[in-house]
Structures are given as C-alpha cells and as structure tokens.
Amino acid sequence: MTWSNDDIPDQTGRVAVVTGANGGIGLEVSRELARRGAHVVMASRDQEKAERARQDILAEIPDASLEVQPLDLASLASVREAAARILAAHPRIDVLVNNAGVMAISERRTEDGFEMQFGVNHLGHFALTALLLPALLESPDARVVSVTSTGRHSGRAVDPANPNLDGRYDPWRAYGRSKLANVHFALELERRFREAGAHARSIVVHPGFVNTDLQARSVRETGGGRSQRFFHAAVTRYGMTPARGALSLLRAATDPDAVGGSLYTPEWVNWGPPVRRPLIGRSRDEEAIATLWEVSERETGITFDVKPRA
C-alpha cells in the first residue's frame, strides 16, 4: 500500500510545532497538518518569509489554525525564548518536527560558537526538544520527528575533544556529521521514552532528494562551490517536489502505526512514497550515541528529563 496525504488521520485538537516552517519541506508539512485540523506552530527564522508562508497556506486553507513563532536555531537564547513562548501558549504539544537545516555551507559559527551545521541541525533541535519535553509528555501520543539525509552515510561520530571541527572543517563532512547526529539523537530519545514508559515516539526520516532552497542556499553561502553547484543542478532536474518530500515526515508525525526508533524514507532511497527501512551500521553505534548525548548536554548546558505524566 502506498502511503499518501490521504492517509493522514484527523489531527483536530492536536498541536504541532514545525521548525523551518517558512519554506521547503517544513512549509508542506505545516500545510498538510493544518489541512487535517492540527494547530500548527510555524517556528521560523526569517519572519517575512514566515508570514508569506502563513498566507500561502491560508490562501488554500482559509480556516487553517496557524501561529508563527520566531526561532533561530543558531542561538540558544532564541531557542530558549521560543520554547518559553510556545510552552506558555501550549501546555500540551503532540508533534514536534525538527526539520530546519542547512547543508554544506562555508565554515561559520553560531551565536554560541558552535560549528554552524552541527549547531543548527543538531544542537539547536536538541535544546528545543529538551525544553519542550514537559509539554510533549502531556500528549497521549507524542511524536518527535528528526530529519536526516543520505549524507549521514559519510558522517562520523562527534569528537568530544573537537566538537566544532577546529582545523578540520569540510562543508560535506560537517553536514554528514550533523545528519548522523540527527539519527543518533532520535534513537537515544526513543530509548529514553521507552525506559520512562512515556506515551511518545521518536522517529527519524530522510525526505529524499527534494527540490527546495537547501541546495541553492549552499551554493549562495559557499560563493558557488563546485559540488554544491552540482547538487543544485541535479535537484532542480531530478528532485521531488517539496510536497512529496514532506511525506516521510508526515507519516512519522501522524501514522498510528509508525514505529518509534525507526527510519522512514522514500521507497527508492531518494524518490518514492514513504516506507519504513532498517537503520544499520554507524547509525546504531551505541558508543557514538552516548558520546553525542554527553557532548550535546555539555555544549548546550541543557539536560533531558523524561518524566511521563502520571
């Protein structure tokens, strides 16, 4: 059976937070969750783009329940402020889609001095999830969706002695490392959910090869890097639409039968409908998973407390 948007169950009454909701895959995830009745918190950095995205959804779904919240994952202060605002408005959150990301950009640091791709793609989401956890644990069926990439296959475990790749930066190495971290984060979070008996599932997805701003931005931010230009040209020709790229995320976020601790990915790796696939090799390196968690808590100063509701 091919899973499609028609399979999304009614989301009325559910609250979903989507990062990077102002464009690309995040916008399409927001659109479909709203279409099914969820209240969607569009956590976004560029506010003008976020307002355009909100209007875009409203033009199609006039009764969509949407709320834009500013969030810059490259700033722990911004993550804290966003989490505090969201928690104040929503004592219960049912879905958190950690979608925002940057790919293969030139070497840069976040406000807190983290290597940018690790900081935005992983550490910012690590902090956001930890801070929103009390509200997620209020849900009878919470989902935390992490977004990886085939880039994870070239990723190496984080080195606790050099988490920011000082003197060892390479745009693709950094992307692969951050996307492997997304898998390791999802698996450890699922383990903690199970250990605590929480009514929550942590699931990781790869959206496929999708024609969004991801590749174009990597070209802009590297001043036209060669491999970045190659991927940009390829995705404009062969990439799936953002709506199709959103399907794996939507399945993980809504399918009643979606399995915690699993990977959902297009059937033919980068193309096709979303299916469940095994996680193998480095994805399951328990030592690397434990190290990532320690480094993430150390760098962000934020710890996880998975205490389910009574």
Ligand X SMILES: NC(=O)c1ccc[n+]([C@@H]2O[C@H](COP(=O)([O-])OP(=O)(O)OC[C@H]3O[C@@H](n4cnc5c(N)ncnc54)[C@H](OP(=O)(O)O)[C@@H]3O)[C@@H](O)[C@H]2O)c1
Query: Residue numbers of the site for ligand X (CB under 6 A)?
Result: 19-20, 22-26, 44-46, 49, 71-74, 99-103, 120, 147, 149, 206-207, 209-210, 212-214, 217, 235
* Catalytically active residues, by annotation: 175
Residue 216: is it exposed, middle or buried by C-beta count within 10 angstroms (0-12/13-18/19+)?
middle
Pairing of β 142-147 and β 95-98: parallel
Task: Find the shortest distance in angstroms from Cβ 209 to ligand X.
Answer: 5
Residue 173 or 199 having the CB closest to ligand X: 173
- d(C-alpha 274, C-alpha 207), whole Å: 8
- d(C-alpha 26, C-alpha 300), whole Å: 24
- d(C-alpha 183, C-alpha 138), whole Å: 24
Task: Find the shortest distance in angstroms from Cβ 308 to ligand X.
Answer: 28
Task: Find the shortest distance in angstroms from Cβ 159 to ligand X.
Answer: 21
